[in-house]
Structure 1
């Protein structure tokens, strides 16, 4: 059994269908952000899927110094607040150091710790102290059983509202693989687990100054993860991934989501005996 994590009407845990955590990799502009959020909200409402909107206000770990990072924390939080109020959905974004947590927690429903920072004690404790739900992405270098120490750092604040996300492990240069055992191992820590299917097919730094990706494998990996019994699915999406300013090669086309989600709901219902 895992601890149920609730944000309003959105619930992660054993008794619930998977939650879709989705949006663009990075906030590009307000019109694009609202278009993606509206499309995802309509689709998830139609399919009966709980939905959390995600987008980064700053991509602090881009491959190149010239890569687009986003609008920054102030403008980015304003955009996310607009999404939250206009579509009545929870929102999540990354924080990169402890000084960002206070401002971010005024808007975000979920404070997300990036994979590269999953061992940063001060950041984890600050996120826990925010009182918000904390989603920690397992580092590409981190064993799933070692996430118990990550959970312990957040929980040391008294905050047990913790989510864990699998996004693949480094496998040689410019490549990631997913050990599906890690989804089960992390769930044994008693926390809901999310599978980040679009980052799992990323090829970090594989495009000479940017990351490449293999979106053609997202649907299959998502089915495998849902068949294991995960609590949430993380997808980066874009109306035109080829023109996305970050992570386009591993992002899904917004127009292609419905049939994939319908098939995943069928698998989820069987696995969870619903």
Structure 2
């Protein structure tokens, strides 16, 4: 497994899981700081590496009337403030090669959205910055094909690459998770993340917005941990019902610490079981 550093973090973590967590969208400084403060508390209490995530702009919208953000530079400056103030690496997504230079000057990780995982110019531009790159698997793509996306990034000499599962299209307005995809993607040699939030999404099912069912966040996350994933991706909001995007699928901030605690305990349990069987 390829290992690398992102700021103060070494990934994959020696003690197990790492988290990519934060709001879907930077809606305001106050909201982003509230989430960052709680994630900072959780990472210290649970001793779990955390990468703060937040989109500075949402380009993949179901409807032209959907909210897209507070302004690129304003949102990016908030992300940079979180990075400096809390000492957490920060991730945001980019949608076109022309966006990469600006975003890269504020964050530590550039994320390639699932819909764009075959866009060679975008992947190469992101990887050429030298920052870590998280490539989400398209809902339409076989897990073994993600090795080709990783090869595009690695062709720049960048070895800081992560691959993220986020569900596969299952008919209209639905997704299904095939957990075989996690070890298949791991065969590529890159760390694998499971995007819990978007795997419970119902794309476009909400009359112009994406729906979802957060009841399934923990069942899917537990299965990913048991499968042996390296990291978990959660979108978290202080009041998901009022979120400007992905309101149906973001985890409530007030419940997130308990969720992380349970998943870390499960990871330690699974690690002990694996070590016991390997020692026989």
Q: TM-score range by the shorter chain?
A: over 0.9
SS at match of 1:79: helix
Taking the aligned partners of 2:271 and 2:106, their CA distance within structure 1 comes to 33
SS at match of 2:185: helix
Quote the residue 1:161 is aligned against: 160
Q: 2:17 aligned with 1:18, yes or no?
A: yes
SS at match of 1:164: strand
Taking the aligned partners of 1:100 and 1:22, their CA distance within structure 2 comes to 22
Whether the 8 Å contact between 1:20 and 1:52 is mirrored in structure 2 is yes
SS at match of 2:248: helix
Taking the aligned partners of 1:153 and 1:52, their CA distance within structure 2 comes to 23
- Compute the displacement of 1:8 (Å): 2.7
SS at match of 1:248: coil
Taking the aligned partners of 1:151 and 1:216, their CA distance within structure 2 comes to 32
Q: 2:238 aligned with 1:227, yes or no?
A: no
- Compute the displacement of 1:14 (Å): 6.8
Quote the residue 1:206 is aligned against: 205
SS at match of 1:93: strand
Q: Which range moved further: 102-111 or 173-182?
A: 102-111
Quote the residue 2:80 is aligned against: 81
Matches within 5 A, 1:172-191: 172-191=171-190
Quote the residue 2:217 is aligned against: 218
Q: Tell me, which stretches of 5 or more residues in structure 1 are unaligned?
A: none
Following TM superposition, where does structure 1 have runs of at least 4 consecutive aligned residues deviating by more than 4 angstroms? none
- Compute the displacement of 1:10 (Å): 1.7
Quote the residue 2:123 is aligned against: 124
- Compute the displacement of 1:20 (Å): 1.1
Q: Normalization by structure 2: what TM-score?
A: 0.95
Whether the 8 Å contact between 2:7 and 2:108 is mirrored in structure 1 is no
Whether the 8 Å contact between 1:53 and 1:91 is mirrored in structure 2 is yes
Whether the 8 Å contact between 1:5 and 1:192 is mirrored in structure 2 is no
Whether the 8 Å contact between 2:194 and 2:229 is mirrored in structure 1 is yes
Whether the 8 Å contact between 1:219 and 1:260 is mirrored in structure 2 is yes
Taking the aligned partners of 2:168 and 2:52, their CA distance within structure 1 comes to 25
Quote the residue 2:96 is aligned against: 97
Quote the residue 2:237 is aligned against: 238
Matches within 5 A, 1:132-147: 132-147=131-146
Taking the aligned partners of 1:5 and 1:230, their CA distance within structure 2 comes to 17
Taking the aligned partners of 1:185 and 1:8, their CA distance within structure 2 comes to 28
Taking the aligned partners of 2:147 and 2:228, their CA distance within structure 1 comes to 20
Taking the aligned partners of 1:152 and 1:109, their CA distance within structure 2 comes to 20
Quote the residue 1:47 is aligned against: 46
- The C-alpha deviation readout for 1:64-108, integer Å capped at 9, x for no partner, is 111111123212211101111111100000001111111111111
- The C-alpha deviation readout for 1:167-217, integer Å capped at 9, x for no partner, is 000000000110001111000100000000010000011110101111000
- Compute the displacement of 1:114 (Å): 0.3
SS at match of 1:263: helix
Q: Normalization by structure 1: what TM-score?
A: 0.97
Taking the aligned partners of 1:108 and 1:85, their CA distance within structure 2 comes to 10
The alignment covers a number of residue pairs equal to: 273
Taking the aligned partners of 1:239 and 1:83, their CA distance within structure 2 comes to 17
Quote the residue 1:36 is aligned against: 35
What is the root-mean-square deviation in Å for CA atoms of aligned residues? 1.2
Taking the aligned partners of 2:187 and 2:147, their CA distance within structure 1 comes to 10
- Compute the displacement of 1:272 (Å): 2.7
